[in-house]
Amino acid sequence: MKGQIFKIHSDFYYVDTAQGTYECKIREVLKKRKDAIVVGDFVELEQLNENSKQAFVSKVLPRKSFIPRPKVANVNQVIIVCALKEPELDFEQLNRYLSFCEYYNLHPVLCFNKNDLEGEEEIIAKIKKIYEPLNYDIIFTSALEGNGIQDFKALLKDRTTVLCGSSGVGKSSLINAIRPDLNLKTKQVSEKTERGTHTTRHCEIITLENNARIVDTPGFSQLRFDFLMPADVGLLFREIIEIQKQYGACKFSDCIHEHENGCTVQLHPEMMDETRYNSYLQFVKEAKEYKKQVTYSGKKTESKSKFVHNKQITKISSKKRQTSRRKSNQDIDKELNE
Looking at the DSSP assignment, which residues form a beta bridge with residue 80? Answer: 110, 164
CA distance 263 to 248: 10
- Does residue 303 have a known ligand-binding role? no
255 among annotated binding-site residues: yes
- The answer to whether the annotation marks 114 as part of a ligand binding site is yes
Ligand-binding site membership of 192 (annotated): no
Is 111 annotated for ligand binding? no
Q: Is 263 annotated in some ligand binding site?
A: yes
Check the annotation: does 261 bind a ligand.
Answer: no
Q: Where are the alpha helices (DSSP H) in 298-324?
A: 303-310
- Closest residue by Cα to residue 102 from 312, 314, 265: 312
Task: Please enumerate in sequence order all residues whose Cβ is within 8 A of that of 338, keeping only pairs 6 or more positions apart, or say none.
Answer: none
211 is in an annotated binding site: no
Q: How many residues does the chain have?
A: 338
Is 234 one of the annotated binding-site residues? no
Is residue 172 part of an annotated ligand binding site? yes
**Burial annotation 50-60 (CB, 10 A radius, 16+ → b, else e):** eeeeebbbeeb
- Angle, CA of 163, 168 and 172, to the nearest 5°: 45
Is 306 a known ligand-binding residue? no
CB 50 within 8 A of CB 21: no
Signed CA dihedral, 287, 315, 240, 70: sign only:
negative
169 belongs to an annotated ligand binding site:
yes
CA separation, residue 188 to residues 96, 192, 193 (Å): 24, 12, 11
| Annotated binding-site positions | 113-116, 165-173, 250, 255, 257, 263
Q: Which residues are annotated as a binding site for Zn(2+)?
A: 250, 255, 257, 263
- Annotated binding residues for GTP, written as ranges, equal 113-116, 165-173
